[in-house]
Amino acid sequence: MIWCHMVPFDDKLRCRAVEYVTGGIPALLSSWEHTKGLREAQPDLAADDAVDILAAWAHLQRFVPEHVPRDVRESISTIVDQDGALMAGLIGEALDPSGWLEAAEALENATDETFCDVPAISSAALELFCQLDTADLAIWAAERLGQGDKVSELREEIGRCWGCFLMMSGIFAPAAGYAKAMLHAHRPDLLAFDGELFTITEKYTLLADEDVLVPFGHEEVTAITEEQYARFCEVLLQRRRPIISAWPEVRDRVAIAAETKSEGGMFGGQRVEFAAEDGSWHAWMGIPASVLDANELLSLWIRDRSGIPIGEGEVVLYGESFPISDGRALIPLSELRRLQDMQKGPSRSDTIRVVRNGRQSIGKVVKPERKHGDDQS
Amino acid sequence: MGLKLATYAGALANPREIRVFGDWVAACAHLCDHVLTMPEAAAWAEVLGEEAAAVILSNAGFRLAKAVWAEGNEGEAAEALYKMYSDALCKALDSAARTGWHWADRWDTDAQKALGVSGVLVLFDAHKVRSAMLPGWGCPLRTSRAKGISSVGQRRRNPLPRQGEDDKEAISSVVTGWGMRRKPDRFDPKAKPAPETEALKRFRIFRKCAQSVRAELLEAYYSTEGKLDASSGEGLRGAIADFATWTRLVGEG
């Protein structure tokens, strides 16, 4: 027991990360014993297992061999040697890169200030990061087993996901802790061991860098200026250059994504601000240019004259009232009758009422305040 | 009369029995947002069995979601499905007590989480079940949609806020996953898969739930510099049960 307390945290973390991968292997192999024979009747079950087994086998290659229990390493290697070709032929059945791209886009929208469901965003970021890694690993395993022709199309499609990951890696930042934990377990000579495996593993390093690169919490995303965003992209691309050059299809994707952003995709939305006539509060909301599904929510942020979030109260906008909690009111888009008008630009006649402790104050649309980092000229 | 709430009085109830959700509104909101919302609904259909699947994977699911919020109903329309849901939750709590798969919640230290051998994850405190889900099967991004849709009036207008507009009513194919694993399956209510296939499907649900929980625990372990070590589901650290062990554990329940 005393020994346990003396083990450095880094070593414990390495053990945990290896255990995370090895712990799932007996369950996978026992499932494959059955689903392999059912691949005609239940191809989805067999294909799912094939992807997970190939990915787990590939994942083990990232670790120092001595850190992986021998029985686990041998049991999965035996099955992969035996059924690897069959598995490689099945993985296309289980993976849907376009579904991943759609989900990543939804995550980007959710990370915008209009949403702040932190546990949901964290879960989604982690799940999508793991899904991309699993697909990469399964494809790498198939190629390593000499079955590259069975996954060549899929590899191209995954390249599009990589492009998206590179351009929007900030949205995966909630998974940075998982990535850092895993990095503790990776072999230091991975590049010399296998360049391709090193390349697909680089996304862990990129993600681990994210919390350094992203200087703003998502609450304040709309306060970033274009100039700041350009600087951020420059740093990001510098760090990603080696990986982009290794994946030509990713380079093309990045170019397309950069063009889209410069055409205003990211900055086409509106920031609408309101101020109380008596100066007692200030409120603002970001309205995205697209992404308008009636089920989505806008956050209206409300601060008092000292900049402190208004804890409780009620806000009335266009005749509808919404509760204020912790400085924010959530407003379903479906409730906003004048949304289209607001998107075209705020009007001076738009008013807002805030009710606190039974007292009501009226505010009007104001010109957006300068934010830290805005152009001062 | 309204929905009659179930209680759990097993080994994880501390100090006394806990209600399966605080009130009928919370119970029905969770039924709608997890059991009746795709893609998680497809997995719930497997976990809850044939009778529930017939409701969940058909237009009847949407009709039920509308009915539970109707004026004067107070969730009574959901009685049968709620019974199956609450039974599954109580079984999950019991099996977690046996396997040791329960731990303090990272976000709220007054709450605990428990993972059942079915894959059902239950979030609960000393008084009530707060939430229950099949982790890794629902699309977390859809949970944002239900934020702010909290009043009965809002639910009346939008009974399944997490469901996409396009798949609210007719469910001719079932989306069984999301992201990279989004694969639509044709749903045939008359199809009777072999018992072994059914067991393998349920095992897959459990396996994915367990791995999803383990990824979050690893992330939490790193982010808290190991502080969650003592209470973070030690039983889930090692190997996930293989098919034979899992079958035995399910049999014990």
Give Cα separations from A373 to A225, A228, A232, A262, A367 (angstroms).
7, 8, 13, 19, 17
Q: Mean pLDDT for chain B?
A: 84
Give Cα separations from A292 to A298, B96, B149 (angstroms).
10, 42, 17
Instruction: Give the pair of three-digit tokens for residue B226.
Output: 């190991």
* Of A14-23, A135-144, A235-244, minimum mean pLDDT range: A235-244
pLDDT single digits (tens) A284-336: 776 655 444 455 566 677 888 777 778 788 988 777 788 887 777 877 666 55
Interface test with A, best of B113, B141, B158, B209 (most A CBs within 10 A): B141
The answer to whether A69 faces chain B, any CB pair under 8 Å, is: no
pLDDT of residue A115: 44
- Give alpha helix (H) positions in A95-117: 97-111
Which chain B residue lies closest to A331 (C-alpha atoms)?
A: B148
Interface test with A, best of B181, B188, B217, B246 (most A CBs within 10 A): B181
Distance (Å, rounded) from C-alpha A67 to C-alpha A77?
Answer: 16
Distance (Å, rounded) from C-alpha B106 to C-alpha B222?
Answer: 12
CB A361 within 8 A of CB A354: yes
pLDDT of residue A253: 47
Q: Quote the crossing angle between the two packed helices A195-213 and A176-183, to the nearest 10°.
A: 130
Distance (Å, rounded) from C-alpha B201 to C-alpha B193?
Answer: 10
pLDDT single digits (tens) B172-209: 456 677 889 877 665 565 667 777 888 999 999 999 99
Interface test with B, best of A178, A184, A324 (most B CBs within 10 A): A178
Residue from the list A31, A95, A181 with its beta carbon closest to the beta carbon of B203 = A31
pLDDT of residue A346: 53
Distance (Å, rounded) from C-alpha A371 to C-alpha A365?
Answer: 17
Higher-pLDDT residue of B85 and B236 is B85
- For residue A30, which residues of chain B lie inside 8 Å, CB to CB? 242-244
The answer to whether A126 faces chain B, any CB pair under 8 Å, is: yes
DSSP letter at B151? S
Distance (Å, rounded) from C-alpha B51 to C-alpha B45?
Answer: 9
- For residue A161, which residues of chain B lie inside 8 Å, CB to CB? 180
- For residue A9, which residues of chain B lie inside 8 Å, CB to CB? 225-226
- Give alpha helix (H) positions in B9-49: 24-30, 40-48
Among A27, A40, A112, A39, residue whose Cα is nearest residue A72: A27
Give yes or no for residue A87 having a pLDDT over 70.
yes
Give yes or no for residue A59 having a pLDDT over 70.
yes
pLDDT of residue A234: 62
Among B224, B4, B14, residue whose Cα is nearest residue B102: B14
* Of A14-18, A126-130, B221-225, minimum mean pLDDT range: B221-225
* Of A1-15, A27-41, A134-148, B21-35, minimum mean pLDDT range: A1-15
SS3 sequence of A4-63: HHHCCHHHHHHHHHHHHHHCCHHHHHHHHHHHHHHCCCCHHHHHHHHHHHHHHHHHHCCE
Strands A270-276 and A359-366: antiparallel
Instruction: Give the pair of three-digit tokens for residue B246.
Output: 């899992």
The stretch B118-142 carries a mean pLDDT of 91
Give yes or no for residue A104 having a pLDDT over 60.
yes
* Of A64-78, A186-200, B86-100, minimum mean pLDDT range: A186-200
CB B144 within 8 A of CB B154: no
Give yes or no for residue B24 having a pLDDT over 70.
yes
- For residue B225, which residues of chain A lie inside 8 Å, CB to CB? 9
Give yes or no for residue B28 having a pLDDT over 90.
yes
Considering only CA atoms, give the Rg of chain A.
25
Higher-pLDDT residue of B131 and A254 is B131
pLDDT of residue A216: 36
Higher-pLDDT residue of A83 and A192 is A83
Amino acid at residue number B165: E
Residue from the list B144, B149, B181 with its beta carbon closest to the beta carbon of A96 = B181
pLDDT of residue B146: 63
Residue from the list A34, A100, A128 with its beta carbon closest to the beta carbon of B200 = A34
DSSP letter at A122? H
pLDDT of residue B18: 95
Which chain B residue lies closest to A128 (C-alpha atoms)?
A: B179
The answer to whether A268 faces chain B, any CB pair under 8 Å, is: no
pLDDT of residue A33: 95
Distance (Å, rounded) from C-alpha A172 to C-alpha B232?
Answer: 23
Distance (Å, rounded) from C-alpha B144 to C-alpha A114?
Answer: 10
Burial of residue A361, with CB atoms counted within 10 A of its CB: 0-12 exposed, 13-18 middle, 19 or more buried: middle
pLDDT of residue A114: 45
Q: For chains A and B, what is the number of CB pairs under 8 angstroms? A: 173
Which chain B residue lies closest to A23 (C-alpha atoms)?
A: B239
Asked if B197 and A293 come within 8 Å (Cβ–Cβ), the reply is no
Distance (Å, rounded) from C-alpha B179 to C-alpha A208?
Answer: 22
Distance (Å, rounded) from C-alpha B241 to C-alpha B198?
Answer: 18
Distance (Å, rounded) from C-alpha B97 to C-alpha B18?
Answer: 15
**One-character DSSP codes across A186-234:** B-TTHHHH-HHHHHHHHHHHHHHHHHHH--S-GGGGGG--HHHHHHHHH
pLDDT of residue A359: 87
Residue from the list B140, B222, B238 with its beta carbon closest to the beta carbon of A13 = B222
pLDDT of residue B252: 81
pLDDT of residue B189: 59
- Nearest-CA distance A281 → chain B (Å): 22
Which chain B residue lies closest to A17 (C-alpha atoms)?
A: B218
Coil, strand or helix at A228: helix
Residue from the list B144, B180, B207 with its beta carbon closest to the beta carbon of A99 = B180
Asked if B200 and A330 come within 8 Å (Cβ–Cβ), the reply is no
pLDDT of residue B38: 84
- Nearest-CA distance A101 → chain B (Å): 7
Asked if B180 and A121 come within 8 Å (Cβ–Cβ), the reply is no
Give yes or no for residue A2 having a pLDDT over 60.
no
Instruction: State what percent of residues in chain A have pLDDT above 90.
Output: 27
Distance (Å, rounded) from C-alpha B31 to C-alpha A40?
Answer: 34
Distance (Å, rounded) from C-alpha A27 to C-alpha A297?
Answer: 40
Give yes or no for residue B164 having a pLDDT over 50.
yes
Higher-pLDDT residue of A201 and B120 is B120
Which chain A residue lies closest to B239 (C-alpha atoms)?
A: A23
Residue from the list B181, B201, B223 with its beta carbon closest to the beta carbon of A94 = B181
* Of A67-71, A161-165, A335-339, minimum mean pLDDT range: A335-339
Q: Of A244-253, A328-337, B154-163, B210-219, which has the strongest mean pLDDT?
A: B210-219
The stretch B145-149 carries a mean pLDDT of 64
Coil, strand or helix at A272: strand
Which residues touch B84 (CB under 8 Å, ≥6 apart)?
B48, B49, B51, B52
Task: Report the DSSP beta bridge partners of residue A304.
Answer: A281
pLDDT tier for residue A217 given thresholds of 50, 70 and 90: very low
Coil, strand or helix at B118: coil
Interface test with B, best of A101, A295, A325 (most B CBs within 10 A): A295
pTM above 0.95, yes or no: no
Residue from the list B226, B241, B242 with its beta carbon closest to the beta carbon of A9 = B226
pLDDT tier for residue A108 given thresholds of 50, 70 and 90: confident
Distance (Å, rounded) from C-alpha A204 to C-alpha A187?
Answer: 13
pLDDT of residue A91: 93
Amino acid at residue number A295: N
pLDDT single digits (tens) A154-210: 988 888 888 778 777 778 888 888 888 899 899 988 888 988 888 888 888 878 766
